[in-house]
Structure 1
Amino acid sequence: MPPILELIGAPTDIGASVRGAGMGPDALRVADIAGTLVRLGFEVHDAGNLAGPATPWAAPTDGLRHLEETVAWNRAVYDAVDAALGAGRMPLMMGGDHSLAIGSISAVAWHARQRRQTLRVLWLDAHTDVNTHGTSPSGNIHGMPVACLLGHGPAALTGWSGERAALTPDAIRFLGIRSVDADEKRAIRAQGLRVFDMRHLDEHGMRNTMTEALQDVDDDTHLHVSFDLDCLDPADAPGVGTGVRGGPTYREMQLCMEMIADTGRLGSLDVVELNPALDVRNRTAEVAVELIESLLGKSTLVR
C-alpha cells in the first residue's frame, strides 16, 4: 500500500528577498495537487496551512533578517512534519521559501535516527544555500538553510534534530547548482560537499548524474527531496523569486524525478520558492505538480 500523503502548507516568505512565496501553497492547490495525487493512487490528507508571524520586511540584525519570525515558522513546520512521520504518513511540505527546510529536514533527521535509517537529502536548487550570517550579502535566511542543517547557523536554528548538525556533509547531494557566492565556494570545498552543478550535468547528462547521486541509496535509506523550483530553468518555471538562467529543462527534471521514484525510498518532500506573484497564469505551479507526480511514481509506461 502506498503511504498516505500529508500536505502541509507553510505560507510565508519570511526568509526570502522578495514578496510572494507565501502564496505558494495555495497556488499548488489551485493547480489541483491533491486531486492529481489521488488520481495517481494515493490517499491524500491536506492538513491546511500552518500559522505564523507576518513578515516585517526589516533590515538584518547581526547579519540575519527576521530571525525570530523564521524560528517560529520553522518550529511550526518541524511539529507538523514530526506529527506526519509519527503517524506513518509521508509529509509534503509546501512552501513558502527555502528557509523552511530547516524545520522540515530537522524533523526528518530525528525520525531517521530513531528508526536507524540512513538519511540522504537531495537538494534540487540553483543555489547551495550554505551562507551564514557572517558571509551572506543580504541576511536573507533562505540562503542559509543548508549551513544551519550542517550545524553552522545561529544557535536558534541548529540542534533541532537532537544533534547540533541535522546532516553530515556526506548526507546531502546538490543538483542543478549554478549560482554560488565566493564564500560558499570555499565552504563547499572545506566541508567536502557533493555538488552536481550545471557543468557536471552538461558534461555527463541527467541520467549519469542521478546514477551518481543515488548510488548509495539502499533499503535502509530515508530519501528526502528538497525541491526549490528555481532549480528549473526560468523558461520553464518563471514563478520564482531568484531565478537563474541556464538550469535543467523540464524533460531533464522529469528524468531526475523518475529516477528518484525508481529507488522506492522517497520518504518526505519539500516544494518551495514558488512565487505566484511572478508567475504566468499559474504555470510554475502546474509544472511543479507534474514533476511531483513523476517523483511519486507516474511514468509513461509500467516500469
Structure 2
Amino acid sequence: MTVTPDMQVWSGRTDAAEGQSALRWHQWVQPYASEQAPGVTLLGLASDEGVKRNQGRTGARQGPSALRKALANLAWHGSTPVYDAGDVACDGAALETAQQHYAAKMSEMLGRGHLALGLGGGHEIALASFTGLADHLRSQESKPRIGILNFDAHFDLRFAEQSSSGTPFLQIADYCQAAGMDFEYCCLGISQHNNTQSLFDQAEKLNVRFLLDRQMQSWNLPGIEAFLQAFLSTVDHLYMTVCLDVLPASQAPGVSAPSAHGVDLTVVEHLVRLARASGKLRLADIAELNPSLDQDARTARIAARLLASMVI
C-alpha cells in the first residue's frame, strides 16, 4: 500500500514559445508535501476489490492513473496550487484496510486546508472519502451537517457482509447513525430499471432525495437546479461524488456497468459547477473509471473534464 505520487505520469504537450500563459496541468501539478500552502490535492484509491465483490467488471484499479494521464494535457487556467498525493492501493482483498488508510490520508489533507479530490477506482471510494471528511469535521464540531451529492445510476445502498462498490451509502448511513449525525443523501440520475424495488424502499426509509435519469434532461434544467439548491440549503458541508456510469454508455463506455439511458455530460457538468459555486464543497471524487473497457479514452477524458470543473 503506497501513497507516493508517480510524477512521470504528468507529461504532455509543452507550448514554451507561447509563454507562461500557455500552461497545461502537467506543468502545474506538484508532488504533495505536508508543509505546502493549501490548495487542491489529488489522492487515488487504486482498487478493484469493491467492484469484484459487487459482481461487476473489474479493471477500475487502473482508473487513477488513467485519469491523471487525461488531466495532464488539459490546458491550465487557474492560479490555485494543485498537488498529487499519489495512490492508496488495495493489496489483494484487503479493501477495508485500504479504505481506512485512504480516509486517514484525506482527513490529514483536509486538516491542512486543502480541497481534497479523490480518483477512483470503484465506488467503494465513497465510504473512505466520507469517513475522512466526517472524522475531520467532527474534530471541530460535534454533529457537522454534511450533504452527500452523488451523480449515479445506482443508489449503492446494498446490504452485504463486506464492503463493496454497491454498499458505501448504506455504510455511511450506519456511520451517521452511530455518530448522531443526520444522513443527508441526494442522488441524481437513478435508473429505475437498474435498481430493485428493495433499493427504492431502502432509499425511502433513509429519506434519500433523488431524481431519475429520465428527469435529468436539459428540458427540465430549471427544476433540477431548484431541486439541487433546496438540498444544498439544508447542509453546511458538501461531499460530491460522480460515478461515471451516470453518463450514457456512448459517452462513458469505460465503466463497470454502462448506462443504456444515462444523463448527458452537459447536464452533469453544469450541476457539478453549480454545487461547487455553493462554497460548501469540501471534498469530491470521481469513481468507476475502468480503462480496460474504455474506447479511445473517452471516459477518462470526460472524467478529467469533470474533475477540472471542480477546480477551475
TM over 0.5: yes
8 A contact 2:249–2:260 mirrored in 1: yes
State the alpha-carbon separation in 2 of the partners of residues 208 and 252 from structure 1.
Answer: 12
What TM-score results when the alignment is normalised by the length of structure 1?
0.80
State the alpha-carbon separation in 2 of the partners of residues 6 and 38 from structure 1.
Answer: 15
Number of the residue aligned with 2:172: 149
1:263 aligns with 2:294: no
- Taking only the aligned residue pairs, the percentage that are identical comes to 25
Q: Following superposition of structure 1 onto structure 2, how do residues 1-303 of structure 1 map, counting pairs within 5 Å? A: 4-16=39-51, 17-33=56-72, 36=74, 39-55=77-93, 69-116=94-141, 117-133=144-160, 141-151=164-174, 159=175, 164=178, 168-169=182-183, 171-178=184-191, 179-202=194-217, 205-217=220-232, 221-297=236-312
| Pair 1:245–1:90, CA change in 2 (3 A) | same
8 A contact 2:99–2:125 mirrored in 1: yes
8 A contact 2:123–2:165 mirrored in 1: yes
What TM-score results when the alignment is normalised by the length of structure 2?
0.78
SS of equivalent residue, structure 1 residue 258? helix
Paired letter, 2:186: R
**Greater CA drift, 183-192 or 22-31:** 183-192
State the alpha-carbon separation in 2 of the partners of residues 165 and 203 from structure 1.
Answer: 38
State the alpha-carbon separation in 2 of the partners of residues 260 and 281 from structure 1.
Answer: 29
Aligned residues: 268
8 A contact 1:73–1:100 mirrored in 2: no
**Greater CA drift, 274-283 or 107-116:** 107-116
**Greater CA drift, 35-44 or 119-128:** 35-44
SS of equivalent residue, structure 1 residue 23? helix
8 A contact 2:244–2:286 mirrored in 1: yes
Q: CA deviation at 1:73?
A: 1.4
SS of equivalent residue, structure 1 residue 32? helix
Paired letter, 1:141: S
Paired letter, 2:45: A
**Greater CA drift, 287-296 or 202-211:** 202-211
SS of equivalent residue, structure 2 residue 224? helix
User: Highest CA radius of gyration, 1 or 2?
Assistant: 2
What are structure 2's unaligned runs of at least 5 residues? 1-36
8 A contact 1:21–1:273 mirrored in 2: yes
State the alpha-carbon separation in 1 of the partners of residues 41 and 233 from structure 2.
Answer: 24
